[in-house]
């Protein structure tokens, strides 16, 4: 049987987000096990799917979607039936606040700078001033955000696990892998999110073997 849903991408924090959301929702999908910077995103066929040549890309019937946070949100809205994204109101607004904050202030402005200019400096160049600023800014943002989860809540939106937790957890994993210190509330929070069975299965699905 032809699988309707296909996820392109393994071996990356961003691809892990989509594997995790699919597995949380119990959705079957085909995994195209391509990696970044392997040449596999450079082929004409892949560039037709994503002209930006990035992973992850998700196909669902006629829909082709890139950007991991958008894919996670699409899956939640389309298949969640109340799971992974609040249906309405202030909680839903808070979901989008967290997703924007994590994508912009935690991922793009800080961790991705370190990825490009520390781990991948041989490709993107050395930038010690930018790296130091990114570490300082991460520290400021993550400590400020820690105050919001110090009230005993289990997940970012309270009792209910959401796509924002998926995206945040991958960033916390990423920070730890770069020896970026995390305040205690985030360490305790991460223990809760990584204990979810779907996360373990997603890590296996995302692994480069």
Ligand X SMILES: N[C@@H](CCC(=O)N[C@@H](CS)C(=O)NCC(=O)O)C(=O)O
Point out which residues bind ligand X (CB under 6 A).
12-14, 36-37, 53-56, 67-69
For ligand X, which is the closer residue by CB, 68 or 185?
68
Which is closer to ligand X, CB of 68 or CB of 131?
A: 68
Kindly give the pairing relationship between strand 57-60 and strand 5-8. Answer: antiparallel
Residue 127 has what DSSP assignment?
-
CB of 129 to ligand X, least distance (A): 22
Contacts of 169 (CB under 8 A, 6+ apart): 190, 193, 194, 199
DSSP string, 66-117: E-HHHHHHHHHHHH-TTSBS-SSHHHHHHHHHHHHHIIIIIIIIIIHHHIII
- Name the token pair of 46: 């892949």
CB of 88 to ligand X, least distance (A): 26
| Least gap, CB of 117 to ligand X (angstroms) | 13
Residue 65 or 157 having the CB closest to ligand X: 65
Token readout for 26 is 């119990």
Tell me how far, at minimum, the Cβ of 89 lies from ligand X, in Å. Answer: 27
Residue 17 or 185 with smaller CB distance to ligand X: 17
């Amino acid at each position: 049987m032809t699988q309707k849903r296909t996820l392109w991408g393994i071996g990356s924090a961003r691809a892990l987000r989509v594997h995790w959301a699919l597995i949380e929702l119990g959705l079957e999908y085909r995994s195209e096990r391509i990696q970044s910077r392997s040449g596999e995103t450079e082929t004409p066929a892949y560039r037709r799917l994503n002209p930006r040549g990035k992973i992850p890309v998700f196909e669902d019937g006629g829909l082709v979607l890139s950007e991991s946070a958008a894919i996670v949100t699409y899956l939640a809205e389309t298949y969640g039936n109340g799971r992974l994204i609040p249906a309405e109101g202030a909680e839903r607004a808070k979901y989008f606040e967290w997703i924007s904050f994590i994508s912009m202030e935690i991922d793009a402005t800080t961790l991705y700078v370190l990825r490009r200019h520390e781990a991948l400096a041989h490709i993107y160049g050395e930038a010690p001033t930018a790296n130091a600023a990114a570490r300082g800014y991460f520290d400021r943002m993550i400590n400020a955000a820690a105050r919001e989860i110090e009230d005993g809540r289990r997940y970012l939106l309270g009792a209910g696990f959401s796509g924002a937790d998926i995206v945040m957890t991958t960033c916390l994993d990423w920070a730890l892998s770069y020896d970026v210190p995390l305040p205690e509330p985030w360490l305790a929070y991460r223990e809760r999110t990584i204990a979810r069975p779907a996360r373990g299965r997603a890590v296996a699905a995302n692994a480069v073997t």
